[in-house]
Amino acid sequence: MPDRHDRTDVRFPLAESDLSGLFFLGGIRAPGSVGGNPMSRPQGDPVQCRQSFDAAFARDDAGRAFDRAVDLNASLLEVFGQDELLGLRELADRHARLMASRSRRIERFPRPDPDPLAYEAAGSFAGQCQRLRLLAVEVCAGEGPRFRLAEREMSFAARGRGTVRIRGLTPQEQARQLRGERAQARRVETLDRKARDAATPAIGRLVNALVEHDRDCVVPPSWHADGYLPAELVGRRVVEAAAFILEYHHAAGFDRARLARWQACLTGWVGRAAARARLRSAAAAAIAPDDEAALLGLVRTDEA
């Protein structure tokens, strides 16, 4: 048994960073390092990178591309910046930097240079943009492909829950978009008309309630300023203009949003008129006993 005071020489395996340091200190390149610097990027295979780019570029994912058209369009404009034309290497590098700036991922080990994964991501990105007609590919004999930006402004925009093209439409797309817009307009008009029909009885009840609480109420300027009634009615008594008020939302073609605001406005006026009516009733009830006592006092004085 060794004495507990004896030193035991225990050797642990060196970590990868220690191995890299030993190689570097000895002037020998660590495996995968460039220029004797253990933190430099290892040399990549340009042929493999080009193959990765071409394979990703050729993948047909047009449906997915259109769903992401707004994001792809914005990213493409950011990649190109002020340039109109980029080579393959520059496109891949700029796209990789853009993706790295948006990601919180920290690479533990340096990626090869050039990086096949970066070229694959750039190829998928460029292919989707090319199928969306945001990017044109120029091939020159003896040179690599070059990529030209089609539009310097956004060609796609978000509309509701979908995406629409706003620039670079083909005649067929223009006709299809026009038909869709007309159909949507007809649907909206139908819904608005049904809402106006349904609101007429409610507006009638609100106008009647307002007149009951305040028969001398007049049309305020705010009703015209907010677009609910014409200027000719401002200052007129509501009781006199009630029939016109009841039908004006039909004549003016109120949409559902404007109709809802008009009903909310009338509801507020009715509530305030009712509150004023209650205050007047309470004031009259409080004054009546005093008046009665005063009259009795006068009678007694006359009798005396």
* pLDDT in the model for residue 298: 52
Q: Which residues touch 269 (CB under 8 Å, ≥6 apart)?
A: 210, 217
Helical H segments across 214-255, by residue range? 221-225, 242-251
Domain assignment present for 122: yes
If one counts every other C-beta atom within 10 angstroms of the C-beta of residue 188, the result is 12
Give pLDDT tens digits along the chain (304 positions).
445 444 444 443 444 434 333 333 333 333 344 444 445 667 778 899 999 999 999 987 756 777 889 999 999 999 999 999 999 999 999 999 999 888 877 777 777 888 999 999 999 999 999 999 999 999 877 778 999 999 999 999 998 888 889 998 989 989 998 998 899 999 999 999 999 999 999 999 999 999 999 999 999 999 999 999 999 999 999 999 999 999 999 999 999 999 999 999 999 999 999 999 888 888 777 765 555 555 455 544 544 4
Tell whether 56 and 159 lie within a shared domain.
yes
The sign of the torsion formed by the CA atoms of 121, 127, 128, 133 equals positive
Q: Which residues touch 116 (CB under 8 Å, ≥6 apart)?
A: 44, 45, 48, 49, 52
Count the domains in the chain. Answer: 2
* pLDDT in the model for residue 293: 59
Domain stop point among 132, 165, 198 = 165
Q: How far is CA 254 from the centre of its chain?
A: 27
| C-alpha to C-alpha distance for 275 and 54, rounded to whole angstroms | 76
Label residue 119 exposed, middle or buried (CB < 10 Å: 0-12, 13-18, 19+): buried
Tell whether 158 and 224 lie within a shared domain.
no
Domain of residue 224, residue span: 188-303
Tell whether 194 and 148 lie within a shared domain.
no
Predicted TM-score of the model (pTM): 0.56
Tell whether 114 and 247 lie within a shared domain.
no
Tell whether 64 and 134 lie within a shared domain.
yes
* pLDDT in the model for residue 44: 78
Tell whether 47 and 95 lie within a shared domain.
yes
Q: Which residue has the tokens 């295979």?
A: 45
Strands (E) in the chain, as ranges, are: 85-87, 135-138, 146-149, 156-159, 162-165
